[in-house]
Amino acid sequence: METTGQLLLTVLMGAFLLGVAAFLARVEDWRSYTPLGAGGGAVGESGYGHAEKPAGLIRWFTTVDHKDIGLLYGLYATIAFVVGGLMVMLMRAELTTPATDVLGSATFYNSLLTSHGITMLFLFGTPIIAAFANYLVPLIIGADDMAFPRINAIAFWLLPPAALLIWAGFFPIPEVIPAQTAWTMYTPLSAGVGNGNQMNVGVDLMLLGLHLSGVSATMGAINFIATIFTERAEEVTWANLDIFSWTILTQSGLILFAFPLLGSALVMLLLDRNFATTFFAVEGGGPILWQHLFWFFGHPEVYILVLPPMGIVSYVLPRFSGRKLFGFKFVVYSTLAIGVLSFGVWAHHMFATGIDPRLRASFMAVSLAIAIPSAVKTFNWITTMWNGKLRLTAPMLFCIGFVSNFIIGGVTGVFLASIPVDLVLHDTYYVVGHFHYIVMGAITFAGMAGIYYWFPLVTGRWYQRTLAKAHFWLWMIGTNVTFFAMVLLGYGGMPRRYATFLPQFATLHQIATLGAFMLLVGGVIWVYNIYVSWIEGPHVQSGDPWRLDETSLNTAEWDWFDAKRETSLAATDGGEEVKADGGEVVDGAPADDAADDE
Amino acid sequence: MARIFDRDTLLDLTVNVIPLGIILFFVVAFVLVDPFGGLDFYGRVLQMGLLVFPFVALAILTYVSGKAIAGDEKRSPVFFQGQATMEGAQTRHEAEADIEAADEAAAAATAEAEAEAEADATDDDADPDTTDEE
Ligand code: HEM
Ligand SMILES: [Cu+2]
């Protein structure tokens, strides 16, 4: 009975896939693609309304253009960010009272917790960085496209199924429940051992989805490494490579070593769950083995997430300081140092597990050493701004917010790296405060800085600057209210990952929830602003909308933008887009002083 | 080789020498102080290995990247980040020359201004607000 149903499903699926293949073969002339060198140089290549690109949705499903794929990554990351954000809002609502009054079930809270973490790290964090890297790196280093444009497309298209698998437990599918393992997936819980419900197939689907996202990240990383090594323009020597590309290169190196390891560990876990192997069973490799494997991936992963945002800040912040980046080469070398050292600190997440104290000591030592390159960067950003001619535009505000939050996140991290302090604070809200100062306060802020900074480059339009500033201040205050309250909760001894708490923690939890609602409001403003401005924002009036030429701080991607504008202005027979670009006066919109964005 | 690793390059590389120094410090400290002497020897090897491995890896990477970056600096013109492919971009060398020239001009100007200010101050020191400014 059951097998017949499954057979039927398989046949249906096969027929469906064949149909898709046939459809694609019909609508697309695949041979028309000559992705490499098609445009003849970074300048003048492609742009919208490109004659060779099919129109409408088909274009987005078949594109191999690095800019289109970058935009797809951006859209994907935005959706994931909204999903993960709504999940955490439910959790914060739950945490306004000590009992489970709001959601009614601690199990559901645990599911949200797990999914929030995985969504934000793997479906928002990595893809939003890939969005910037895909769009910008080829433009900045003067490459025609990525080295392997089709692998680039495949890497992206692996992500939507990954998301569906990861969220599968939340869909109304009978018998499938969401994983409640937290993002660290510690065994034995995640191995489905015991009387709990984590043997459910929902956990397997989540693990497979995670595996798929790892495959995607690895393919992307190989592509970036190949692109940066082999596709640079002749003038772009190692000495001339910009800091953002350096961080992407380093990040890709980290991905290349870290993600396959996660993939292997996940396969081992799946085998333990479904084929009775004993990799992580007490009588086999032991639960600590999982922790070693997971964190050998996990700590590099946090730097995979933070290095490119550091690159964005190092790239954008000087433009609004009227200065070149102070100590450019310090920043480059310290990026590389972080890359190497991040593989030598993993067990600082395991200080409380009872591993050999001598190993703990070594991990502490390297964790202290890795703080130096991070601190060096911070000093470089501050020195760049020192006595500079600051322009407090929205991207600049987010850069400054990044630096400020990164300092708090970094300092709390250094304390955690000290064994005796960690033994007190481990698994409390202090840790949650620490890493959220970084993942939210720093990484996401840098992402926003990048989005506002390159918004004119991508859309040719301005966002609404008042809304952008409201967004910034809501987030700056909201981040600090939320996560500083968590640091204090941790000092008070509030353990992490609980749906309920003792009444004495109520006030701080309510403050944290208040801050989270500020973040929600800011986020809604952001989505609205980007959406509306993309459609009807005033057009930028020059190829140098940030007026970077005045301080000799212009860069290659804006040069490309300028050239693109000029060609589309010159082409009188162009499409609608072109006409709008030429129509200088747009409803009397104050496009000109938007450039000040003061 | 010696030409690539000149004083400037070595100075740039100090950022990575500091973490190397910290690791080295702990190696020495853990050799001298071993409160867990009663435990097995294997753990001791791992303890040192966990320090030595990152140390060596970082040293190698620093050397290789320093050679690549400083080497390219000597072989071809150096631009500011993101500007190499731009038409008419200033090289770092040119920019530095400009700044030096501007500095010299400014220095000459301030020297003159100071001389004047001093001359003013002698007959006008009743007004501390203006003279304190400098
Ligand atoms: C300045 C360097 C940093 C140091 C020394 C440091 C140290 C630590 C330590 C020791 C822990 C473990 C705390 C515990 O569970 O008891 C920790 C947790 C964490 N850190 Fe950091 N950290 C640093 C920077 C970062 C960065 C840059 C990120 C993110 C990009 C980050 C993300 C995290 C995360 C996600 C966790 C929690 C993992 C979990 O248990 O779920 N940290 N950090
Ligand atoms: Cu870590």
Tens of pLDDT, residues B91-101:
877 877 877 78
Q: Give the DSSP per-residue string, A438-506.
A: HIIIIIIHHHHHHHHHHHHHHHSBPPPHHHHHHHHHHHHHHHHHHHHHHHHHHHHTPBSS-S---GGGH
Nearest-CA distance B132 → chain A (Å): 21
Test the B interface: residue of A140, A237, A370, A558 with most B CBs within 10 Å: A237
Q: Specify whether the CB–CB gap between A28 and A62 falls below 8 A.
A: yes
Nearest CA in chain A to B89: A552
A539 bridge partner residues: A461
Please determine, for residue A73, whether its predicted confidence score (pLDDT) is greater than 70: yes
- For residue A583, the model assigns a pLDDT of 32
Residues B48 and B71 reside in one and the same domain: yes
Mean pLDDT over A5-13 rounds to: 86
Out of A255, A435, A439, give the residue to mutate to test ligand 1, the one with the largest number of ligand atoms within 8 Å of its CB. A435
Residues in chain A within 8 Å Cβ distance of B48: 362
Residues B52 and B8 reside in one and the same domain: yes
Please determine, for residue A595, whether its predicted confidence score (pLDDT) is greater than 80: no
**Residue B127 within a domain:** no
Q: Report the atom number in ligand 1 closest to the C-alpha of A370.
A: 2
**Residue A460 within a domain:** yes
Question: Is the CB–ligand 1 distance for residue A305 below 6 Å?
Answer: yes
CB atoms within 10 A of CB A481: 19
Query: What residues make up the domain containing A423?
Result: 392-541
Mean pLDDT over A540-562 rounds to: 91
Q: What is the maximal distance between C-alpha atoms in chain A?
A: 76
Q: What is this structure's pTM?
A: 0.86
ipTM of the complex: 0.82
- Ligand 2 centroid from CA A302, angstroms: 7
**Residue B82 within a domain:** no
Residues B115 and B60 reside in one and the same domain: no
Residues 6+ apart with CB under 8 A from A224: A133, A137, A146, A248, A249, A251, A252
Put simply, the answer to whether B81 touches A242 (Cβ < 8 Å) is yes
Q: Which ligand is nearest to the CA of A416?
A: 1
- For residue A46, the model assigns a pLDDT of 41
Put simply, the answer to whether B85 touches A42 (Cβ < 8 Å) is yes
Q: Specify whether the CB–CB gap between A297 and A257 falls below 8 A.
A: no
**Residue B130 within a domain:** no
Q: Which two tokens stand for residue A403?
A: 């630096």
Residues B5 and B71 reside in one and the same domain: yes
**Residue A423 within a domain:** yes
Residue nearest to atom 4 of ligand 1 (CA): A413
- Ligand 1 centroid from CA B47, angstroms: 21
- For residue A30, the model assigns a pLDDT of 57
Nearest-CA distance B74 → chain A (Å): 9
Residues in chain A within 8 Å Cβ distance of B54: 340-341, 343-344, 366, 369
- For residue A2, the model assigns a pLDDT of 65
Test the A interface: residue of B13, B15, B55 with most A CBs within 10 Å: B15
Distance of CA A125 to the CA centre of its chain: 2
Question: Is the CB–ligand 1 distance for residue A414 below 6 Å?
Answer: yes
The CA distances from residue B78 to A183, A240, B89, B98, B100, in Å, are 44, 6, 10, 15, 18
Taking CB atoms and an 8 Å cut-off, how many pairs form between chains A and B?
A: 159
- Ligand 2 centroid from CA A36, angstroms: 39
Which percentage of chain B shows pLDDT scores above 90? Answer: 32
- Residue A539 in 3-state DSSP? strand
Question: Is the CB–ligand 1 distance for residue A348 below 6 Å?
Answer: yes
Q: Specify whether the CB–CB gap between B52 and A524 falls below 8 A.
A: no
Of A77-86, A588-597, B102-111, the least confident:
A588-597
Residue nearest to atom 20 of ligand 1 (CA): A435
Residues in chain B within 8 Å Cβ distance of A242: 81-82
The beta-carbon neighbor of A142 closest among B44, B70, B85 is B85
Please determine, for residue A37, whether its predicted confidence score (pLDDT) is greater than 80: no
Nearest-CA distance A235 → chain B (Å): 6
- Counts for chain A of helices (H) and strands (E), in that order: 21, 0
**Residue B125 within a domain:** no
Q: Which two tokens stand for residue A48?
A: 């919208």
Phi, psi (rounded to 5 degrees) for A495 = -75, 155
pLDDT tens, position by position, A398-452: 999 999 999 999 999 999 999 999 999 999 999 999 999 999 999 999 999 999 9
pLDDT tens, position by position, A499-550: 999 999 999 999 999 999 999 999 999 999 999 999 999 999 889 999 998 8
pLDDT tens, position by position, A198-209: 999 999 999 999
Distance of CA A364 to the CA centre of its chain: 27
Q: CA A210, CA A375: separation in Å to the nearest integer? A: 32
3-state secondary structure A183-209: CCCCCCHHHCCCCCCCCCHHHHHHHHH
CB-based burial, A511-529: b 16+ in 10 Å, e otherwise: bbbebbbbbbebbebbeeb
**Residue A414 within a domain:** yes
Residues B40 and B93 reside in one and the same domain: no
Q: Which ligand is nearest to the CA of A410?
A: 1
Please determine, for residue B28, whether its predicted confidence score (pLDDT) is greater than 80: yes
CA atoms within 13 A on the CB side of A429: 21
**Residue A438 within a domain:** yes
Please determine, for residue B60, whether its predicted confidence score (pLDDT) is greater than 80: yes
- For residue B8, the model assigns a pLDDT of 82
Residues B40 and B105 reside in one and the same domain: no
Of A194-203, A507-516, B85-94, B109-118, the least confident:
B109-118
Residues B66 and B3 reside in one and the same domain: yes
Nearest CA in chain A to B74: A239
Q: At what angle do helices A556-570 and A126-141 cross, to 10 degrees?
A: 70
Put simply, the answer to whether A555 touches B68 (Cβ < 8 Å) is no
- For residue A52, the model assigns a pLDDT of 65
**Residue B57 within a domain:** yes
Q: Which ligand is nearest to the CA of A299?
A: 2
Residues in chain B within 8 Å Cβ distance of A359: 43, 46-47, 50
**Residue A501 within a domain:** yes
Which DSSP symbol is given to B79?
B
- For residue A86, the model assigns a pLDDT of 96
Of A366-370, A478-482, B10-14, B125-129, the least confident:
B125-129
Q: Specify whether the CB–CB gap between A48 and A17 falls below 8 A.
A: no
- For residue A329, the model assigns a pLDDT of 92
- For residue A41, the model assigns a pLDDT of 38
Please determine, for residue A581, whether its predicted confidence score (pLDDT) is greater than 60: no
Q: How many domains does chain A have?
A: 1
Mean pLDDT over A314-336 rounds to: 94
Query: What residues make up the domain containing B14?
Result: 1-76
Q: Whole-number mean pLDDT of chain A?
A: 89
- For residue B104, the model assigns a pLDDT of 79
Residues B46 and B107 reside in one and the same domain: no
Please determine, for residue A345, whether its predicted confidence score (pLDDT) is greater than 90: yes
Whose CA is closest to A404, among A479, A468, A462? A479
- Ligand 2 centroid from CA A388, angstroms: 34
Question: Is the CB–ligand 1 distance for residue A439 below 6 Å?
Answer: yes
Residues 6+ apart with CB under 8 A from B53: A344
- For residue B76, the model assigns a pLDDT of 87
**Residue A479 within a domain:** yes
Residues B3 and B63 reside in one and the same domain: yes
Nearest-CA distance B117 → chain A (Å): 25
Q: What is the maximal distance between C-alpha atoms in chain B?
A: 83
Q: CA A409, CA A391: separation in Å to the nearest integer? A: 25
Put simply, the answer to whether A559 touches B12 (Cβ < 8 Å) is no
Of A333-337, A348-352, B79-83, B94-98, the least confident:
B94-98
Question: Is the CB–ligand 1 distance for residue A416 below 6 Å?
Answer: yes
Residues in chain B within 8 Å Cβ distance of A341: 19, 54, 58
Q: How many domains does chain B have?
A: 2
Which percentage of chain A shows pLDDT scores above 70? Answer: 90
**Residue A288 within a domain:** no
**Residue A182 within a domain:** no
The beta-carbon neighbor of B81 closest among A243, A339, A362 is A243
- For residue A292, the model assigns a pLDDT of 96
Helix (H) or strand (E) holding B45: helix B41-75
Residues B25 and B72 reside in one and the same domain: yes
Residues B66 and B13 reside in one and the same domain: yes
- Ligand 1 centroid from CA A434, angstroms: 7
Q: CA B117, CA B104: separation in Å to the nearest integer? A: 20
Better-predicted residue by pLDDT, A551 or A476: A476
Please determine, for residue B131, whether its predicted confidence score (pLDDT) is greater than 50: no
pLDDT tens, position by position, A160-181: 999 999 999 999 998 899 999 9
- For residue A59, the model assigns a pLDDT of 86
Per-residue pLDDT band at A40 (split at 50, 70, 90): very low
**Residue B17 within a domain:** yes
- Ligand 1 centroid from CA A298, angstroms: 10
Residues in chain B within 8 Å Cβ distance of A549: none
